[in-house]
A and B are shown apart, each in its own frame.
Chain A
Amino acid sequence: MKIIKISILASLLFLFMGTTEATAQKADRDNYTVMVDGLGCPFCAYGLEKKFKELKGVKGVKIDMETGQFDFTFPADRPLSIEQVESQVDAAGYTAVKTSIKRADGTVLKSEEKLKTLDENALVTEEIYVFGNCGMCKARIHKAGNELESVASVNWDIDTKMLTVMYDSSKTTISEIEEKMAEVGHDTKNEKSASDVYEALPGCCQYERSN
């Protein structure tokens, strides 16, 4: 009985330590998101990951083949600059279109603005419903979102159609983001795309419009 109790306590302690360590590790890492062009097949993605693995410490690699979104984390005590990240993509033989870095301390860097940071205190995350169907829609929605200077990150879920957007509320509004989506052909609950823009979308992207 005593042995069982000790075992349970030891397991709980082990679990607690593991969780704490994982949380600490997460807090000590910067998150990088790069939109990469030229990933024509999964082997290309392998080449990209391999090149980044040369930078010892790269973890959590995720590559979405349809959108070209490449995510990874890196130790915060050895921060990579946007230039370093983009030159590493180039050395792998691909093209970095846009890079955003979320530092462990919350600072956000974006490639267009280079070292200019968004106002950390004004960053808010919201979800909006954006109409769309497929991976091509996702690429278009992400590209449109990232084109807005005050948007830190976007992520559109194909299944739920929800766009999670982090933006600097001192510089833009959620309405402006919805307008941007409509501009590229994707309706939201509050903004409708022009008919000619919607009709110019590829067949697979022409979602069913609400009345």
Chain B
Amino acid sequence: MRNRKIYKYTLVLLLFIAFVSNNAMGQGPPITADKPIMLSEGTFIAKTLTEYRSTDFGDFTRVPFMLHYIFNKNALVAVHLPFVTYDFAPGFGVDGSGFGDMNVLLKYQFYRKDKTGKTFRVIAKSLQNLPTGEKLDIHDMATGFYKGYYAIVAGYETIKYGISGEVGFNHSPEDDTDELKINLGFGLPLLKPVYPVNQINLYFEYSYVRATEIGADMLLYAQGIQYARKRVTVETAIQIPLYQTNLHHGNRKYSLLFGARYII
């Protein structure tokens, strides 16, 4: 029995190592935040960022499949198809799983200033939340309501560090959950920047959400690490609340995130 367990762990470990060494590659943006830099036109990027979230109302997992396409040097369109599992605390709902809210993302870069080894860019961003999920009131996972998010993202990236900031408004016409969102991300490469890509990046990310209609606030901090080699990136992060009040969807305890990206 003990041997079987060891074999099982060994197999999982080997599969993980094989995945990291053969496939790990990709993009280097923040994990929970966003940045304005896009790769060259005609590029597809397949991504996933699984989030396991623990809250007062229960534990939820969102596993999205995301496909991004840069159809022009200044523009990107993406579709996010999430699968959500929910395990509500007693009295808050019924457990289950299914498709969450689908997202359609558009980005347009309207400002670019390049220097040797550094760049500053600003983009406009729109994220349409389509009500394909059940009406479960799981924030950003499955709400079953249409929402339109509009933001400006700015970023300064050098080969020594990266900073990105985002300010946006989430308009929710069908329920009273309009939100102001502010994200701030700092990235720090731990290895000397070389090409072909071989990077380990640390990320420090802050996310602030203000539900304007109900007066609720939430400030989250995420600490992440990312490994990128050639066309693959794998990443993981932990996100914890620094401050939260009056949340209608339950106080956050923590979130664990695991992601991978592949440039097709």
Contacts and interface: CB of A to CB of B under 8 A. Distances in A.
Interface of A: 35, 37-51, 54, 63-68, 90-95, 97, 135, 139, 143
A11 B190 CA distance: 46
A51 B41 CA distance: 8
Given A50-B40, A65-B193, A65-B194, A41 B162 contact: yes
B40 A92 contact: yes
B209 to A, nearest CB: 28
Contact of A43 (B39, B74, B109, B158): B39
B28 A41 contact: yes
B40 A51 contact: yes
Main secondary structure of the interface of A (DSSP, over half): mixed
Nearest to B158: A40
A149 B79 CA distance: 49
Contact of B117 (A46, A50, A51, A139): A139
B39 A37 contact: no
B162 A63 contact: no
Contact of B194 (A42, A91, A143): A42
Interface residues of B, number: 36
Contacts, number: 112
B195 A45 contact: yes
B139 interface: no
B117 A40 contact: yes
Contact of B159 (A41, A95, A97): A41
B235 interface: no
Contacts of A97: 116
A97 B114 CA distance: 10
B141 interface: no
A38 B112 contact: yes
A33 to B, nearest CB: 15
Of A64, A91, A93, chain B has the most CB atoms within 10 Å of the CB of A93
Contacts of B112: 38, 93, 95
Given A37-B116, A94-B114, A42 B39 contact: no
19 contacts: A38-B112, A39-B117, A40-B117, A41-B162, A41-B189, A42-B195, A43-B37, A43-B39, A46-B39, A46-B196, A46-B197, A47-B39, A47-B40, A49-B195, A51-B41, A54-B42, A65-B193, A93-B39, A94-B114
A65 B228 CA distance: 16
B26 A43 contact: yes
B43 A47 contact: yes
Q: 8 nearest interchain CB pairs?
A: A38-B114, A40-B157, A47-B39, A37-B114, A47-B40, A92-B40, A38-B119, A51-B40
